[in-house]
Chains A and B, each alone.
Chain A
Amino acid sequence: MNTHAVSLPLRIVPTAMLSIRRPQRMIERSAYVYRRGWLILLSGFFEPLLYLLSIRVGLSALVGDIEMGGRTFSYDEFVAPGLMAAAAMNGAVFECTANVFYKIKHSKLYEAVLATPMSAGDVALGEIGGAVVRSGLYAIAFAITMWALGLVASPWMVLAIPAAMLIGFTFASLGMALTTFMRSWEDFEYVPAITLPLFLFSTTFYPLSQYGEWAWMVGLSPLYHGVELVRAADLGVWDGSIIGHIAVLVGLSVVGLAVASRRIERLLLT
């Protein structure tokens, strides 16, 4: 029996999927780091917040009301959940791209961690878990802001928090997987080149009906599925399609996590 072929999946799958005790250690580590520099945590939160304020101040009145599910909403009510989803994406992407690259290439953190009982799967799931926590914090902060501005349309809004965390999971997994293929800091120029179009064209600012014959392309954006979930919760308007949105996000998360684990193993356990 080829022991390498057997041990490789054993090392990734059960630990990553079934045990969260070890991955938690990576979150514990991040807590140590952020305890001293918690302000940096907020960085990804301000951009969507400023958009929201700007729209609320001027744009909303110009655009007028939007009808969804037989009810009408003001434009800022419509946009707010989209921006909340974008904040969750930002949190995850910040945490799992440049940060992870630094830890792989420069600080050698993962090499030190992999010399202990921790596995590549533990490291990947732990770092992604940390990003989910960050996304969750952004979502909560954003939800409180929305509530203060009178933009919460439904008590179902509480479900927008787990929806935002799922978005975080998806983007952290995909971001980390992508990061393992990057060779230098220049490659990170591509990150905003991906996240900015996603931010603009994921039904964040206007409904799917406005996209006309390009609507199918919007479906390719993971953020679109996230925006739809957060908006459904926030406005309290939903149908069976949310199952599909959840399935897409969960599917992408699992693929991203598996690729990230595999790649970390490839890169560091040579």
Chain B
Amino acid sequence: MLESGYVACRGLCDTPVMDVRPVIMARSLVKRFGDFTAVNGIDVEIVPGEAFGFLGPNGAGKTSTMRMIGCVSPVTDGDLRIFDLDPSTDGREIRGRMGVVPQLDQLDTELTVAENLLIYGRYFDISRRDCRAKADELIEFVQLAEKRDSKVDSLSGGQKRRVSIARSLINDPELLLLDEPTTGLDPQARHVLWDRLYQLKERGATQVITTHFMDEAEQLCDRLVVMDGGEIVAEGSPQGLITEHIRREVLEVRFGYGRNEQQLPALDGVGSRIEVLPDRLLIYDDDGDAALSELHRREIVPESALVRRSSLEDVFLKLTGRTLIE
């Protein structure tokens, strides 16, 4: 039964509530490939039941971090402990207690959906009978019952992603690693996935998610770090990061390409901070409409103006001085 919480109660229910040992603890964690430093001394602590996000552009070091946590990439330097175990010696045990959804689907293309789940369970040493029961339950959970006996090759991108998620749950993982779970999916498929991940979180699974989508981080993560160039540049809850680093609302105004910067002197004193982009100005203020009224009062007429809630993308822009998706 789904309600019995088949995900992840092992680590949570057996231990006293007081004892919240981190599921993942990294200290000065470093990953180098030859001369290239992918991860440059990060500190992270993730507690049971938490949904934790690594946010950052391509090449920020998110996937390298995930691979070290997944015990498929040796740590170059620093300390990493998962379930209070050492990945370099206890990798097998650690991997047995977690589920991984890699950035690119690594489904077994020679097999059907059901067979993918069955054989994957066998890699975890689960009995054939348990695998069968579990596979049926998970296929139901990701709403792919009618595709049960189709080869995975014939599925759409969103369906494959859901198979990947179902497969990662075959061993009742205490910890779920999701590397860019919705990259490349259409909005509808993303929402179905978000919904499933939210259900898993409700049942207590610890989730680690990398993404370069702001809305995804806001939807899924309790806490996140922003990574850039292998380092952590900010840490907090999605809302906390927004209030700490920027204002609640953003007024976006466009004066035409290349003419935005000239407007800066006239805008002096409007909003709390102004970010200049080639195609537009971002005016941060707690009250975007008030800032827009001020523009009107000064008789400044942009080609277009838009007030919106500020997002993590704006935080990223402020922290790194560039847009997130390049």
Residues of chain A whose beta carbon lies under 8 Å from any beta carbon of chain B:
3-4, 6-7, 10-11, 21-22, 25, 28-29, 32-33, 107-109, 111-119, 268-270
Contact: A4 with B88, CB < 8 Å?
A: yes
Give the residue of B92, B96, B107, B125 whose beta carbon is less than 8 angstroms from that of A112: B107
Q: A4-B74, A114-B72, A269-B72 are in contact. Are A119 and B104 (CB under 8 A)?
A: no
A28 CA / B100 CA spacing, docked (Å): 22
Contact: B106 with A3, CB < 8 Å?
A: no
B interface size (C-beta, 8 A): 31
Majority-rule SS of A interface residues: helix
Contact: B123 with A118, CB < 8 Å?
A: yes
Residues of A with C-beta under 8 A to B100: 115
Binds A, one of B114-122, B262-270, B307-315, B316-324: B114-122
Contact: A268 with B96, CB < 8 Å?
A: no
Give the residue of B74, B88, B110, B123 whose beta carbon is less than 8 angstroms from that of A116: B123
Residues of B with C-beta under 8 A to A10: 89
User: Does B93 sit at the interface, judged by CB under 8 A?
Assistant: yes
CB pairs A–B below 8 angstroms (12 shown): A3-B89, A7-B88, A11-B92, A29-B122, A33-B110, A107-B108, A108-B104, A108-B106, A111-B72, A112-B107, A117-B92, A270-B73
Distance between A262 CB and nearest chain B CB, rounded to angstroms: 14
The 7 A-B residue pairs with the shortest CB-CB distance in the complex, in nearest-first order? A112-B106, A116-B123, A108-B106, A117-B96, A3-B88, A115-B100, A117-B92
Residue of A whose beta carbon sits closest to that of B93? A117
Contact: B106 with A11, CB < 8 Å?
A: no
Residues of chain B whose beta carbon lies under 8 Å from any beta carbon of chain A:
33, 70, 72-74, 86, 88-89, 91-93, 95-96, 100, 102, 104, 106-111, 115, 118-120, 122-125, 171
Give the residue of B72, B109, B111, B122 whose beta carbon is less than 8 angstroms from that of A25: B122
Contact: A21 with B125, CB < 8 Å?
A: yes
A10 CA / B93 CA spacing, docked (Å): 14
A112 CA / B164 CA spacing, docked (Å): 10
Contact: B119 with A25, CB < 8 Å?
A: yes
Contact: B108 with A112, CB < 8 Å?
A: yes
Give the residue of B89, B92, B110, B119 whose beta carbon is less than 8 angstroms from that of A119: B92
Contact: A117 with B124, CB < 8 Å?
A: yes
Distance between B195 CB and nearest chain A CB, rounded to angstroms: 25
Contact: A28 with B96, CB < 8 Å?
A: no
Give the residue of B86, B93, B108, B171 whose beta carbon is less than 8 angstroms from that of A109: B108
Contact: A25 with B123, CB < 8 Å?
A: yes
Residues of A with C-beta under 8 A to B115: 32
Residues of A with C-beta under 8 A to B107: 112
Distance between A28 CB and nearest chain B CB, rounded to angstroms: 6
Give the residue of A22, A111, A269 whose beta carbon is less than 8 angstroms from that of B102: A111
Distance between A122 CB and nearest chain B CB, rounded to angstroms: 9
Residues of B with C-beta under 8 A to A116: 95-96, 120, 123-124, 171
Residues of B with C-beta under 8 A to A269: 72-74
Q: A108-B106, A117-B123 are in contact. Are A32 and B111 (CB under 8 A)?
A: yes
Distance between B161 CB and nearest chain A CB, rounded to angstroms: 14
Given A29-B108, A116-B171, 6 more A-B residue pairs with CB atoms under 8 Å apart are A10-B89, A11-B92, A21-B125, A29-B119, A117-B95, A118-B123
Residues of B with C-beta under 8 A to A112: 102, 106-108, 120
Residue of A whose beta carbon sits closest to that of B167? A112
Chain A CB within 10 A, most for which of B89, B93, B106, B111: B106
